[in-house]
Structure 1
Amino acid sequence: MQFFLRMSILALPVALVACGGKDDLDELALNDTPPEVLFNEGLALRSQGKLGDSTEKFEELDKLYPYSEYSKKSLVNLAFLNYSRGKYTETVTAAKRFVTLYPGDQDSAYMLYLAGQSYFRQMPDITRDQAVTRKSAAAFNELIQRYPDSEYVPDAEKKLRIVKDQLGGKEMQVGRYYLKKRNYIAAINRFKTVVVEYQTTRHVEEALFRLTEAYYALGVVSEAQTAAAVLGHNYPDTQWYKDAFSLLNKGGYEPSEDSGSWISRAFRSV
């Protein structure tokens, strides 16, 4: 990944301090240790593969010299190191703090990317609560909106498509549950979310069919016809459209779009 190669944001042009044994490390932990010494000690530990020790050193620097230039760079290192170690909660904490303290800094894009990646790697399966998935979407969206020219945007957009597909899939799962229980209003609300918010995902075709089912079951034939018509217009060769057409046809109806329906408006807005 690109962010593993971006060493320029992780170091300052200060000569590295030689790394000694445990006694030397303890001595460097004294509160009067200069920030540049702590910073370069952290870099030295990181270069030796001692990521845990390096993390502790940067944490110490951040506590002793908050808001300094060295603390600023330490936050970048902390986010990077914690992500490398699979400590995603700590990664997000460091990244959010950096973005809050330095919103205009060039490294804020990188921090948002790491936050999004951290949430992304914690996404649960479709049957569980998707709060983390939504946080991943929020971080990637913020990165794309605030830093559209960032080198991290292409990968963020790729990940965001996966995130949205997962969120759309969750809405479909819940909607099917309500449909099975004949709670048609609740089901429609879920399928509506897919059509409005996750229209570019693979779930939209089924969502339109399920809307046809739910509205027809409620006796709201015009909306059922509209859902089927929009489905046929956009996905004419799918089994979902064939099933929607068949459902209406059995009742003596056929797909017919009402341009004033929210379904029509949703597709016109894309």
Structure 2
Amino acid sequence: MAYAQSEVMKKTARIALVSLAMAFAGAAVTACQSDKDIDITKLGFESEPPEMLYNQGLANMKAGNIGEASRKFDSIDRQYPFTEWGRKALVMSTFSKYRLGRNEDAITTGNRYLKQYPNSEDSAYVQYLVGLSYSKQIADVTQDQKAAAQTIDAMSRVINEYPDSEYVEDAQAKIRFARDQLAGKEMQVGRYYLERKEYLAAIKRFRVVVEEYSNTNQVEEALARLVETYYAMGIVEEAQTAAAILGRNYPDSQWYADSYKLLQSGGIEPRENPRSWISRAGAKLIGA
């Protein structure tokens, strides 16, 4: 008898709890319906079908409302993932974030697209957008050049994985700029060591430029700095070789004129030593 009474009491309690929960739910719905300040779009939900949201996003893009367009595309991405509309929205979401200057968000969204749709018709474009987003973050050579290295990696993917795409030419230009930045960073550090007469450390930096960034705008100065550094150390043969390589490749350069003048002040002239690492590196230079 006591057991039966206990079960009845438990059942009654469950019914009461369910009724209470339904009452709270009804009150919440009523509040949402009556409260004019509540905007469900701010919660990330849109009531329109994906095609309509997508067209609204495009219309906002055309009107210059990039932020609103981005919100529309993100809404499709959240509500209709792994659908064709979701795929297209992810492309436009990457683009809109790039246009808004939200470069890290654009990179994250773009990489997610590439992971989900690696062989789609828009993969080359999205990879290009990722590269552009890295490129926009490249700082002055006095600062860290991580973004330059990331730009090279991302744009190299455009060239290697999508060689027939229309983005290859600009990807190559972005890589050249990024490489010049990396070389510029090496030069900035090398000059720092040279000014402090830390010659070996300076030579190490200038050598990186000559050997690894031979097709950048920094190589002329790098060779001239090698002339200056080796001459200051009394390693005349290497100074002469650096000047000879500089003169052969950039005979009209002011850097060569300055290097030639420096050597002549000591009664010597440029002369290449074919056994020098500078001579071997010089064979790869532009104009060699």
- Identify the TM-score tier after normalising by the shorter chain: 0.7 to 0.9
Q: 1:29 aligns with which of 28, 36, 45?
A: 45
User: Is contact 1:28–1:38 with CA below 8 Å preserved after alignment?
Assistant: no
- 1:163-204 Cα deviation digits (max 9, x unpaired): 222222222111111100111122112111221232222221
Q: Quick one: percent identity of the two aligned structures? A: 46
Between 1:41-50 and 1:123-132, the stretch displaced more is 41-50
Task: Determine if contact 2:138/2:147 at 8 Å carries over to the other structure.
Answer: yes
- Alignment partner of 1:234 is 2:246: no
TM-score normalised by the chain length of structure 1 = 0.79
Query: Please, which of 238, 250, 254 is the counterpart of residue 223 of structure 1?
Result: 238
Aligned to 1:259: 274
Q: Which stretch shifts more, 140-149 or 179-188?
A: 140-149
Q: 1:266 to 1:28 in 2, by over 3 A?
A: closer
Aligned twin of 1:77: 92
Partner of 1:11: none
The equivalent residue for 2:70 is 55
The 1:258/1:99 distance shift into structure 2, 3 A limit, reads: farther
* CA contact 2:190–2:205 (8 Å) conserved in 1: yes
Paired letter, 1:175: G
Letter of the 1:109 counterpart: A
Once structures 1 and 2 are overlaid, which stretch shifts more, 63-72 or 117-126?
63-72
The whole-number CA distance in structure 2 between the counterparts of 1:27 and 1:59 is 12
| Partner secondary structure for residue 151 of structure 1 | coil
The structure that has the greater radius of gyration is: 2
Q: Is the 8 A contact 2:54 2:85 kept in 1?
A: no
- For residues 47 and 173 of structure 1, the distance between their equivalents in structure 2, rounded to whole angstroms, comes to 47
| One-letter code aligned to 1:228 | A
**After the TM superposition, which of the residue ranges 72-81 and 164-173 deviates more from structure 2?**
164-173
Q: What is the Cα deviation at residue 138 of structure 1?
A: 2.1
**In the alignment, structure 1 residue 45 sits paired with structure 2 residue 57:** yes
Structure 2: how far apart are the matches of 1:249 and 1:231?
Answer: 15
Does residue 1:130 correspond to 2:157, yes or no? no
Q: Please report how far the alpha carbon of residue 65 of structure 1 lies from its aligned counterpart in structure 2 after TM superposition.
A: 4.2
**CA distance in structure 1 between the partners assigned to 2:229 and 2:74 by the alignment:** 55
Aligned twin of 1:113: 128
Q: Give the SS at the match of 2:104.
A: helix
Q: Which of 157, 180, 186 is the matching residue for 2:172?
A: 157
In the alignment, what sits opposite 1:192? 207
* Distance (Å, rounded) in 2 between the aligned partners of 1:226 and 1:172: 20
Cα shift at 1:127: 1.9
> Offset at 1:214?
1.4
Aligned residue for 2:273, secondary structure, equals coil
SS in 2 for 1:175: helix
Contact 1:178 1:187 in 2 (8 A): yes
Matched residue, 2:118: 103
- TM-score, normalization: structure 2? 0.75
Distance in 1 of aligned mates of 2:43 and 2:146: 44
Greater CA deviation, 49-58 or 165-174? 49-58
Does the Cα contact within 8 Å between 2:54 and 2:76 map onto a contact in 1? no
Does the alignment pair 1:144 with 2:159? yes
Q: Unaligned 5+ residue runs, structure 2?
A: 1-37
Q: Is the 8 A contact 1:96 1:115 kept in 2?
A: yes
Cα RMSD between the aligned structures?
2.6
CA distance 1:42–1:106, change in 2 (3 Å): closer
Could you say which residue in structure 1 is the equivalent of 2:18?
A: none
2:220 alignment partner, one of 162, 182, 205: 205
How many correspondences in the alignment?
Answer: 245
